[in-house]
């Protein structure tokens, strides 16, 4: 019995001495639970829907009020905004437009007994899951408005137009996020290699050669970029064979891949340089990169998340990499792609310079 007690005590002591095991066993499930709970459990039941009332009549106002009272959508007045551009930029998922003459056409249709007298236009991006729900809500309100006004005639019609990304589905939205996560693996490669070389004494030997640490980092980033490019081939091939996706591989997307690899590799160098050992470095990296996978607009549109997670997404480098790839490869919004490339490229240069500055392969 004493032998069993000793073994139990030894096992528990070994467990709590291993920081990485303690983190992944005890603390990570709590982080994961809170993360998914806030993303999926704290989402608002209402959907943001921007609108432009070009008629400004009593009837159009009544329709907007009827839509607002459902509580299913949160209406936002888009007067004076370029909603079409916002839709193309992926900042909104859909918007509604009530045309001028809406009240007049509806009254004329009711008087003459015609149907489809007044048309409401909805422009949407079907790669965003909330857009189809918004269309359905507007159609239900229009149906109820018709029933209340005329009894049976369809005086108001809802015309849905997928002008942002024609022929695009959810997987088209998902693919750039998957590619961005593959690129983010550069941070793991950097941490794994640097901590391993430090622990095994490789850096101590390299420090006695003419090969400088700057040249070593530059060579490694080139090598890691090639590895990342190879890792992207399979998802692209599978997306084409299985889902019929045809992403546009262009100069901007290639530059985003290179800049993204440099950015995350530089971040990995910084992590590895300040970590006491490989175990703590890997734990710290996973504790940061894993949540970023879900709050950076890779799998779920940022607009669907709680407000405080949206703030985190706005400072996540993965968000700009994912958005840039989506704009350059899928939606063709090259202005937005270039803007994200500038951000990712700027962060890549900064993190590379910081990594080179703090990196020291000579042991203290």
Nearest to 281 by CA among 23, 51, 7: 23
pLDDT band at 206 (very low <50, low <70, confident <90, very high): confident
**Residue 60: is its pLDDT beyond 90?**
no
The pLDDT tens digits of the residues spanning 273-310 come to 877 677 777 777 877 888 888 888 777 777 667 777 78
Supply the mean pLDDT for the chain.
Answer: 78
* Closest listed residue to residue 336, CA positions, set 94, 158, 89, 107: 89
Give residue 129's pLDDT: 61
Rounded to 10°, the helix 186-200/170-184 angle is 20
How would you classify residue 94: left for phi > 0, otherwise alpha for psi between -120 and 50, otherwise beta?
Answer: beta
The dihedral through the CA atoms of 259, 265, 266, 267 has a sign that is positive
- Neighbour-count burial for 66-79, b at 16+ CB within 10 Å, e otherwise: ebbeeebbebeebe
Measured between alpha carbons, how far is residue 122 from residues 65, 107, 153 in Å?
17, 22, 21
116: its two tokens? 């489809």
Q: Where are the alpha helices (DSSP H) in the chain?
A: 2-17, 19-22, 28-36, 58-68, 83-88, 102-112, 129-149, 170-184, 186-200, 202-206, 213-243, 251-274, 278-295, 307-315, 317-326, 334-358
Distance CA 360, CA 346 (A): 23
Alpha carbons 287 and 269: distance in angstroms, whole number: 16
Q: Using alpha carbons only, what angle is made at residue 35 by residues 32 and 41, rounded to the nearest 5 degrees?
A: 120
For residue 118, the cross-strand partners are: 156
The domains located in the chain, with CATH, are: 2-41 (no CATH), 47-161 (3.40.1710.10), 170-358 (no CATH)
Alpha carbon 183 to chain centroid, angstroms: 14
The model scores a pTM over 0.75: no
Q: Quick check: 58 pLDDT over 70?
A: yes
DSSP letter assigned to residue 304: G
> What torsion, rounded to 10 degrees, do the Cα atoms 17, 18, 19, 23 define?
-120
What pLDDT was estimated at residue 26?
61
The model's confidence at residue 255, banded by pLDDT at 50, 70 and 90, is very high
Q: Which residues pair with 53 in a beta bridge?
A: 98
How far is residue 61's CA from residue 69's CA, in Å, rounded to a whole number?
12
Query: How much is the pLDDT for 23?
Result: 62
In the chain, the percentage of residues whose pLDDT exceeds 90 is: 7
User: Could you give the strand order of the β-sheet that contains 47-53, starting from the edge strand earlier in sequence?
Assistant: 73-77, 47-53, 94-98, 118-124, 156-161
343 pLDDT exceeds 90? yes
Mean pLDDT score, 228-239: 81
Who wins on pLDDT, 127 or 100? 100
């Amino acid at each position: 019995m004493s032998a069993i007690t000793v073994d139990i005590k030894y096992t528990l002591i070994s467990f709590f001495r291993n920081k990485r095991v303690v983190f992944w066993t005890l603390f990570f499930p709590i982080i994961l639970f809170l993360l998914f709970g806030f993303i999926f459990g704290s989402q608002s039941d209402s959907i943001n829907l921007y609108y432009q009332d070009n008629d400004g009549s009593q009837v159009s106002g009544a329709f907007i009020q009827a839509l607002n009272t459902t509580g299913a959508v949160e209406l936002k007045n888009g007067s004076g905004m370029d909603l079409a551009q916002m839709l193309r930029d992926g900042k909104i998922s859909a918007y509604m437009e009530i045309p001028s003459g809406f009240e007049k056409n509806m009254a004329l249709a009711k008087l003459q007994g015609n149907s489809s007298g007044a048309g409401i236009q909805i422009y949407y991006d079907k790669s965003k899951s909330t857009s189809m729900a918004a269309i359905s809500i507007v159609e239900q309100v229009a149906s109820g408005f018709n029933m209340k006004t005329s009894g049976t005639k369809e005086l108001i019609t809802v015309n849905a137009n997928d002008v942002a990304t024609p022929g695009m589905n959810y997987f088209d939205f998902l693919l750039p996020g998957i590619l961005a996560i593959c690129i983010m693996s550069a941070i793991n490669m950097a941490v794994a290699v640097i901590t391993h070389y430090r622990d095994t004494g490789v850096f101590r030997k390299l420090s006695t050669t003419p090969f400088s640490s700057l040249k070593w980092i530059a060579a490694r980033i080139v090598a890691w970029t090639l590895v990342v490019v190879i890792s992207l081939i399979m998802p692209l091939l599978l997306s084409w064979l299985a889902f019929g996706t045809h992403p546009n591989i262009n100069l901007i997307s290639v530059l985003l891949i290179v800049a993204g690899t440099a950015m995350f590799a530089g971040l990995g160098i910084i992590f590895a340089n300040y970590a006491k050992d490989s175990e703590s470095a890997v734990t710290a990296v996973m504790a940061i990169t894993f949540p970023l996978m879900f709050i950076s607009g890779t799998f779920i549109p940022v607009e669907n998340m709680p407000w405080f997670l949206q703030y985190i997404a706005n400072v996540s480098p993965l968000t700009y990499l994912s958005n840039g790839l989506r704009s350059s490869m899928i939606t063709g919004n090259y202005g937005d792609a270039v803007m994200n490339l500038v951000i990712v490229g700027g962060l890549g240069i900064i993190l590379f310079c910081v990594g080179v500055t703090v990196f020291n392969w000579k042991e203290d």
